[in-house]
Chain A
Amino acid sequence: MTYKIVASQCTGCSACEPECPNQAISEKNGTFIIDPVKCTECIGFFDEPQCVAVCPVDDTCVIDGAYPRYSA
């Protein structure tokens, strides 16, 4: 599994981008997206997913069920 950003909620504030330990987050048309290949759910780096912790809008960085759980 990986995290994804709900585009309709993202304010484009960019707070998440520099916090991601895997540089998985980038800007696309004013909002931000997560590269599912790069996202590790922050496992191996931090106790909580950084994008979730910093995002000002609740339930915007959420688990993307379309991908299998990440394993290190």
Chain B
Amino acid sequence: MEGQVVSLASIPTPNNGKNLEEIMQQKAEHQGCGTQGGSGKASCGSGAGQGDLAPEIWEKVKNHPCYSEEAHHHYARMHVAVAPACNIQCNYCNRKYDCANESRPGVVSEKLTPEQAAKKVLAVASTIPQMTVLGIAGPGDPLANPEKTFRTFELISQTAPDIKLCLSTNGLALPDHVDTIAKYNVDHVTITINMVDADIGAEIYPWIYYKNRRYKGREAAQILTDRQLQGLEMLTERGILCKVNSVMIPGINDDHLVEVNRAVKSRGAFLHNIMPLISAPEHGTVFGLNGQRGPSAQELKALQDRCEGEMNMMRHCRQCRADAVGLLGEDRSAEFTTEAVMAMDVQYDMESRKAYQALVEQEREATAAAKRAELENLAGEYSDVKILIAVATKGSGRVNEHFGHASEFQIYEASSEGAKFVGHRRVDLYCQGGFGDEEALETVVIRAINDCTAVFVAKIGGCPKSALEAAGIDAVDRYAFEYIEQSVIAYYREYLDMIRNGDLVHNQRGDAQIRQGAYTAA
């Protein structure tokens, strides 16, 4: 859409006195240090999210909002729910609601026929040019409904071949469908693997439905893990990218996930996403009802850190509801109800989408360049001080959200190695009165980001600012509309200076709470 092109171009460029051209120039000069051929990105650990991925994999994932933590600031994905049936039972799932593999229990997605789903995808893609990825996930298992799933893919690939297709599965039926997945050019598959040990599996899965029989307990878990790992191997043999999702269930599979991490890495998974168990009695799940708790923010990060040496971790998955539409924490699904979509006259215009995406690419290059420039200022600094910074943003890699409007905060870890994205914290449900009026927004936010030293916002009122300050969290608005990573590094540098000058004593912050509930930002 015209309007959005203009708004992207009018985002203020970083005001450290350089225009975009200079920055690009600087970027070009900077590519000397260990650039990996073909990826087109400088990769001195400071690039645009490539990390240690092989160039050909990076090429496939760099615009995928779920797989590249940097791309998820610039591109959007959507899920459609066409496959409600499932073939296993998980203790963290209540299938009256959404599937817990990707989205959270508690919100019901709209069920669509493949034809309705395809039309919805085209309508969204025509309105939101950043929409580049279509996923089929829960509720249910896409491969327990193969006809509906593949019919949807077929319809979309006919009209919109530029949209990437992905699907998420529990893996039980995966080996039977690998060839069809290859045929439809599905380039990303997510398998939820919570264990590779049937004894642990028996505590997570009460039963599976396999070959016309219901299997229970250990036997069920053994079949499931065998099928999952076999499916993973078959996909990687065919060059289809495979991500693994795991739900961290404290006391059941938390330590074991390190072993899962090794097992899936050795079979070629390119990314491992460890997500916290979301469990509350009102979700009606087995774990919700038996009081099984989810991990705290610190426990989750510690486990992700333990696995990171092994392979790429995905820390930005926001466990969206399955029919979410939009960028980052944004959800525009309300604009695309079935009724509205069916009434739309959809014209799919690939050229204007391409033009828009070219602008987004420029914007991304500029973000990466700004970060590298700031990193150079940090060169030569060595410190074991690490701080977490929460950022209010609505995308484009900038500090551009008002404190009071943020439905989630991005969390960055600043150290003498630079700025690293380590996760996000949602606060949307809290502000929608989930905790009653007596609880002010700032109290809620403080609980969610209590482990952070500072919070960067585009704007903040006096009251919340002093409440944050009282909790020891520095509310910072001087980086409004600046690039996030550049700002995080700049703040960190000042922070070190203040420690050095004796103006400040560094102390470790406490733990924070992970919010329980589906992602429902309006």
Question: Contact residues of A with B, CB < 8 Å?
Answer: 11-15, 17-19, 46-48, 50, 52-54, 56-57
Q: How many residues of B contact A (CB 8 A)?
A: 16
In the bound complex, residues from chain A placing their C-beta under 8 Å from that of B95 are: 11, 13, 56-57
How many residue pairs between the two chains, A and B, have CB atoms under 8 Å in the bound complex? 44
- Bound-state CA distance A21–B96 (Å) is 25
In the bound complex, residues from chain B placing their C-beta under 8 Å from that of A14 are: 84-85, 145
Contact A15 B86 (CB under 8 A): yes
In the bound complex, residues from chain B placing their C-beta under 8 Å from that of A54 are: 85, 87, 209, 214
Contact A48 B213 (CB under 8 A): yes
Distance to closest chain B CB from A11 (angstroms): 5
Contact B84 A56 (CB under 8 A): no
* Additional pairs, 12, CB under 8 Å, beyond known A11-B95, A15-B87: A11-B96, A12-B84, A13-B140, A14-B145, A15-B144, A46-B212, A46-B213, A48-B212, A48-B214, A52-B214, A53-B214, A54-B209
In the bound complex, residues from chain A placing their C-beta under 8 Å from that of B89 are: 56
Residue of A nearest to B148 (CB): A14
Residue of B nearest to A56 (CB): B95
In the bound complex, residues from chain A placing their C-beta under 8 Å from that of B212 are: 19, 46, 48, 50, 53
- Bound-state CA distance A52–B149 (Å) is 24
| Residue among B85, B87, B144 with max Cβ neighbours from chain A (10 Å) | B85
What 1/0 flags go to B135-153 for Cβ under 8 Å of A?
A: 0000110001100000000
Residue of B nearest to A21 (CB): B212
- Bound-state CA distance A18–B84 (Å) is 12
In the bound complex, residues from chain B placing their C-beta under 8 Å from that of A13 are: 84-86, 95, 139-140
In the bound complex, residues from chain B placing their C-beta under 8 Å from that of A48 are: 212-214
Question: Contact residues of B with A, CB < 8 Å?
Answer: 84-87, 89, 95-96, 111, 139-140, 144-145, 209, 212-214
Residue of A nearest to B88 (CB): A56
- Bound-state CA distance A19–B213 (Å) is 11
Distance to closest chain B CB from A34 (angstroms): 16
Main DSSP-derived SS at the A contact region: loop
| Residue among A17, A50, A56 with max Cβ neighbours from chain B (10 Å) | A56
Distance to closest chain A CB from B139 (angstroms): 8
In the bound complex, residues from chain A placing their C-beta under 8 Å from that of B214 are: 48, 52-54
- Bound-state CA distance A66–B139 (Å) is 34
Q: List 7 A-B contacts (CB under 8 A).
A: A13-B139, A15-B85, A48-B212, A52-B214, A53-B212, A54-B85, A57-B96
In the bound complex, residues from chain B placing their C-beta under 8 Å from that of A18 are: 85
In the bound complex, residues from chain B placing their C-beta under 8 Å from that of A47 are: 213
Distance to closest chain B CB from A31 (angstroms): 12
- Bound-state CA distance A52–B213 (Å) is 10
In the bound complex, residues from chain B placing their C-beta under 8 Å from that of A17 are: 85
Distance to closest chain A CB from B93 (angstroms): 9
In the bound complex, residues from chain B placing their C-beta under 8 Å from that of A57 are: 95-96
In the bound complex, residues from chain A placing their C-beta under 8 Å from that of B85 are: 13-15, 17-18, 54
In the bound complex, residues from chain A placing their C-beta under 8 Å from that of B86 are: 13, 15, 56
Residue of B nearest to A13 (CB): B84
Nearest 8 pairs of A and B residues by beta carbon? A15-B85, A53-B214, A54-B209, A56-B95, A13-B84, A14-B85, A46-B212, A11-B96
Distance to closest chain A CB from B224 (angstroms): 15
In the bound complex, residues from chain A placing their C-beta under 8 Å from that of B84 are: 12-15
In the bound complex, residues from chain B placing their C-beta under 8 Å from that of A50 are: 212
Distance to closest chain B CB from A44 (angstroms): 13
In the bound complex, residues from chain B placing their C-beta under 8 Å from that of A11 are: 95-96
Residue of B nearest to A11 (CB): B96
- Bound-state CA distance A50–B210 (Å) is 11
Distance to closest chain A CB from B146 (angstroms): 10
| Residue among B96, B111, B209, B212 with max Cβ neighbours from chain A (10 Å) | B212
In the bound complex, residues from chain A placing their C-beta under 8 Å from that of B96 are: 11, 57
- Bound-state CA distance A47–B213 (Å) is 8
Residue of A nearest to B215 (CB): A53
- Bound-state CA distance A17–B85 (Å) is 9
- Bound-state CA distance A14–B139 (Å) is 12
- Bound-state CA distance A48–B215 (Å) is 11
- Bound-state CA distance A18–B149 (Å) is 14
Distance to closest chain A CB from B80 (angstroms): 16
- Bound-state CA distance A45–B85 (Å) is 22
Distance to closest chain A CB from B516 (angstroms): 22
Distance to closest chain B CB from A7 (angstroms): 14
Contact A53 B140 (CB under 8 A): no
Distance to closest chain A CB from B338 (angstroms): 14
- Bound-state CA distance A35–B518 (Å) is 37
- Bound-state CA distance A11–B96 (Å) is 6
Residue of A nearest to B209 (CB): A54
Distance to closest chain A CB from B393 (angstroms): 37
In the bound complex, residues from chain A placing their C-beta under 8 Å from that of B145 are: 14
- Bound-state CA distance A11–B109 (Å) is 12
In the bound complex, residues from chain B placing their C-beta under 8 Å from that of A15 are: 84-87, 140, 144, 209
Contact A53 B213 (CB under 8 A): yes
Distance to closest chain B CB from A24 (angstroms): 16
In the bound complex, residues from chain B placing their C-beta under 8 Å from that of A53 are: 209, 212-214
- Bound-state CA distance A52–B314 (Å) is 38
Distance to closest chain B CB from A46 (angstroms): 5
